[in-house]
Amino acid sequence: MTTRAEEQRTLRADVLVIGFGKGGKTAARALGRLGRTVVLVEESERMYGGTCPNVGCVPSKGMVHHSRLRRPDDDPQAFFEQAVAKVQDVREFMRKGNYESLNALETVTIVTGRAEFTDPHTVSITRQDGERLTATAETILINAGSRPVVPNVPGLRASTHLVSSTDLLERTRLPKRLVVIGGGYLGLEFASIYRAFGSEVTVLARGGHFLPRVDADVAEAVRRVLTDEGVEIVLGARVREVRDDENGAAVVYDLDGAEHTVTADAVLPATGRTPDTAGLGLEAAGVHTAADGAIEVDEHLRTSQSHIFALGDVNGGPKFTYISLDDSRIVLDQLIGDGRRSTTDRVAVPNTVFLTPPLATVGMTEREAREAGHRVRIAREDVADILAMPRAYAVEEKRGLMKFVIDADTDLILGAALLSVDAQELVNTVALAMRHGITASDLRDAVYTHPSSTEAFNEVPTVVVHEDAPA
């Protein structure tokens, strides 16, 4: 028999959302506005709104912006402290806004605590003060996100100089020497930020090829931008050990059969993220996971339990905020729509690395296009040579290049890599063109505002550097 006290500690809702990320909060808001009762559980009050506005995209891009405002005579430490304070003000504003946008809905209840399944429809919630609640719902959305991977390097986890990307975005002390373990997008972004603030930065990349997911000419252009700014990039480095001493952290690595050591005040492992599913009690819910902990889902994001959905990083898909947003559209279509939308609808999903200038890519690389059997035409031009792009000269950012991979038989755009000012915006236009079958010629002949970066498209698709011979 359930007592009255137990009844008061049990929350019953139409929908239970675990995690305050982009997908979960968007779905919660939409369903709450339709009158569905929603309980949203978030483990930490510091994460209202999810990773992006708190410890991810928004603060890191704020730091990109502020790092580029530093003048040569600015004191690096003082300037850095001011930048962190300004970025944190924005974070607090967004965190509060995210919370209030949901808390204002009478149909939505926000609970701060750790959720763990006890059966397929019920979770136990442990609040920060130790109080325990129970929440039950017919439909459950898991949006628990991901966490950084710390590689199993001897001495690394015990080092007092170990930092995460979150640590770097919150600490007010600028590291004099930063070592980044990993040559992926996140590592390079932080390398670029902290070098611009004045840190000495070394990137230790295990692979022998720089940015292997893009074509070699694009990767070389990125490497040149970073090294010209003073970032040291070591390819083929195998980190063996991290030792703390009176000078900081000694990072020991092998390169070409020889042992090397670089000393750092901060060591950032940037070797990926893993779905944050540990402790959710998914076994009790009957929810299946992959070997890496990712929740297994179908194309409609349903788990092995048809009433439970997984959105965002936790389902093992691309770890981008905009993918989590699109996940919410798919789930909402299942719950209140016609149920036809799925992950297979995603075409030409763009990606941006916020270096300065940013690198934005979409679709196939030149190598991938040929491997897929296309006869390709390659159009490429250095930004400094694009006369149709006066904005690059106006803002004094002429570094980089633009490259298009075009089907030589149909004139359709197969992919693009844009390393240029405003690339994070330009790539969305290219992606939209690809989704709707707009040809490279159509993109070239469109009318764009002046002076703008988009005007580059009036020129670049015609600067053909190679075309495969007809079969």
**Residues belonging to the active site:** 450
User: Helix (H, G, I), strand (E, B), or coil: what is residue 52?
Assistant: helix
CB 291 within 8 A of CB 311: no
70-76's contacts with Cβ under 8 Å and 24+ in sequence apart are 70/196, 70/197, 70/198, 76/174, 76/197, 76/198
Q: Which two tokens stand for residue 137?
A: 């719902």
Pair type for strands 413-419 and 401-407: antiparallel
User: H or E segment at 200?
Assistant: strand 200-205
Q: Residue 161 has what DSSP assignment?
A: T
Q: Which long-range contacts (CB under 8 A, 24 or more apart) does 86-92 make?
A: 86/62, 87/59, 87/62, 87/63, 87/169, 88/59, 88/170, 90/58, 90/59, 90/62, 91/53, 91/54, 91/58, 91/59
Q: How many CB atoms lie within 10 A of CB 426?
A: 25
| End-to-end alpha carbon distance in the chain | 78
Amino acid at 179: V
Element spanning 254, H or E: strand 248-255
- What are the contacts of 443-452 at 24+ separation with CB within 8 A? 443/413, 450/390, 451/390, 451/391, 451/394, 452/391
Q: Which residue(s) pair with 380 in the sheet?
A: 403
φ, ψ dihedrals at 173, nearest 5°: -95, 115
**Gap between the Cα atoms of 313 and 304, Å rounded:** 17
